[in-house]
Structure formats: C-alpha cells, structure tokens
Structure 1
Amino acid sequence: MSASFSYGRQEKLKSRAALELLFAKGRTLSVFPVKVFYLAKPADRGTVQAGVGVGARYFKKATERNRIKRLLRENYRLHKEALSALAVAKGLEVTVFLLYIDKTMPEKDILPQKMPLVIQKLVQQLHEMATANP
C-alpha cells in the first residue's frame, strides 16, 4: 500500500467536544519545540484526527502564528504514516493536538527534523498503551 500524504477533512480535529475531552483526559509528551496532547480509544476502524496550535503569548501577530501552524500541519502530513498504520492495525481512534511551545519562530529545518521524532515517540507510547490494554 502506498503512503497517503493527504490531510483531508476527516483527519482534522475540529470538534469542540473532542478538543475538551482531549485536554481533560488526554496524555502529553514533548519533543522540543512541540508538545503533543493525545488520547486513544478502541474503535471499529482505526482513525487519526489531528489539530495544531500556537500560543498568542509569544507570537502576537496572527501572521506569525498562522505560519507556524502551517509548518506544523505540513510536517505532520508528511510524517503521519506510521501513526495512521498503528491506529488501523490496533483498531484505535487517536486524537492528537500538536502545540508549538518555543518562544521564537522556527528555523527552516527544525520542524522537519523534529516531527519524525514526535511521531515515533507517539507511536511508541500508543503501542505500549495498546499492548497493556488489549
């Protein structure tokens, strides 16, 4: 099966209820400059929904926040295949929120280097959760 690099409508995390549940009951992990909130539930078919965010405290201008969010979405889109494959294989409904936590604009090559580490660490955590609770 070839890798799908799309980031379609059903993959975007937009539901307020899902976001509130994620922040209330989800777990976190960090790979600087990204903090990941995630929640996995058993489901009939494996799905992944992801959202991105940047704090307005350090980035006052919306154009800066939008640029960082665009970079986060693009790098997630390119590296999400392992996460999607795990969700399908284990039958998990995974909700993920990527938060940029650095105080400065990202360098050109930082996020492409860090996103594979973020996804790898997230897949490892989800795999451990799935094997602990079959």
Structure 2
Amino acid sequence: MGIYTLCKAERLNSKIQIGKMFGGGVSKSFSIFPIRVVYMPVEQGEVAASILVSVSKRRFKRAVKRNRVKRQIREAYRKNKELLIGELQRREQRLAIAFIYLSDELISTAELEEKMKIALVRISEKLSS
C-alpha cells in the first residue's frame, strides 16, 4: 500500500461512523472555502485516516459535474495526504474525515489542491491542541 494511493480501506463507508460524525457531539469541523471539513477520532480501523467526499445535488444538478468535483477532491487528498498521515501515525491516532463541497461553481484542480493542503495542515494542527 503506497503513500500515493487511495485504497478501498481509506474510504469511509460505515453507516454507523457516518451517522456518528454528523450526529453531533464527537466530531469537529471547519471550512476553507469551497470545502467544509468534518472529522472525528475513531478507535478501530486499518488505516490512519478514512475519507468521505460529498457534493450536494442541490449545488450541481448534473451527476457529471458532481462526479468531477468528487474526483478533484479525492485526487487533491491522495496527493497531499502525507501532510496528515505522518502526524496521525506518530500520535497513533485514527480519523474519519468528510470533505463537503460548498461552492456552486466548479474550480480548478490546482486551486482545490491548495485548499486541501491548508485543510490537512489545519487538521494536524488541531490534533496537537
């Protein structure tokens, strides 16, 4: 399992965990426009961080556009996840992270990648506090 891959285990698909994450209480969140990041610590899991990507149908009616944005977010995460993974492994912590797209405009992959870097660094900073 390479550092620059995004395998199945790194995708969050447990209904129970997703429910907990958005049920309030244990999860923390912040926004770096156009992404809202919701994350919470989890006990068990085979990977340091598992992610969920969400793009609202209300923002983009066409599935093609929604899928494009999801692909951009996953790619930005895949390329920059080592900013966070190293910190998590050092602390022996595991996280479940949701990336929710807020804008109703498409943005460039490069711009999204910059925002993703900021978001991942902010998550690792918040872990230490």
Fold similarity call, TM over 0.5: yes
Instruction: Indicate conservation of the 8 Å contact 2:37/2:100, yes or no.
Output: yes
Question: Are residues 89 and 62 of structure 1, via their aligned partners in 2, closer, same or farther at CA, if it must alter by over 3 Å?
Answer: same
Out of 64-73 and 18-27, give the one that drifted further.
Answer: 18-27
Instruction: Indicate conservation of the 8 Å contact 2:40/2:97, yes or no.
Output: yes
Write the deviation string for residues 88-115 of structure 1: whole angstroms up to 9, x where unpaired. Answer: 1111120000011011111343112211
Write the deviation string for residues 1-35 of structure 1: whole angstroms up to 9, x where unpaired. Answer: xx711111111111111111111231111111100
| Amino-acid identity (%) | 25
Q: Which residue of 2 aligns with 1:97?
A: 98
RMSD: 1.8
Q: Which residue of 1 aligns with 2:52?
A: 51
Q: Which residue of 1 aligns with 2:15?
A: 16
Letter matched to residue 112 of structure 1: E
Could you say what secondary structure the match of 2:107 adopts? coil
CA distance in structure 2 between the aligned counterparts of 1:47 and 1:98, rounded to whole angstroms:
16
Letter matched to residue 73 of structure 2: L
> Structure 1, unaligned stretches of length 5 or more?
129-134
TM-score, normalised via structure 1 length: 0.86
Match status 1:66 vs 2:38: no
Question: Are residues 26 and 78 of structure 1, via their aligned partners in 2, closer, same or farther at CA, if it must alter by over 3 Å?
Answer: same
Aligned residues: 126
Could you say what secondary structure the match of 2:103 adopts? coil
CA distance in structure 2 between the aligned counterparts of 1:125 and 1:106, rounded to whole angstroms:
27
CA distance in structure 2 between the aligned counterparts of 1:19 and 1:108, rounded to whole angstroms:
26
Letter matched to residue 84 of structure 1: I
TM-score, normalised via structure 2 length: 0.89
CA distance in structure 2 between the aligned counterparts of 1:111 and 1:83, rounded to whole angstroms:
17
> Structure 2, unaligned stretches of length 5 or more?
none
Letter matched to residue 40 of structure 2: L
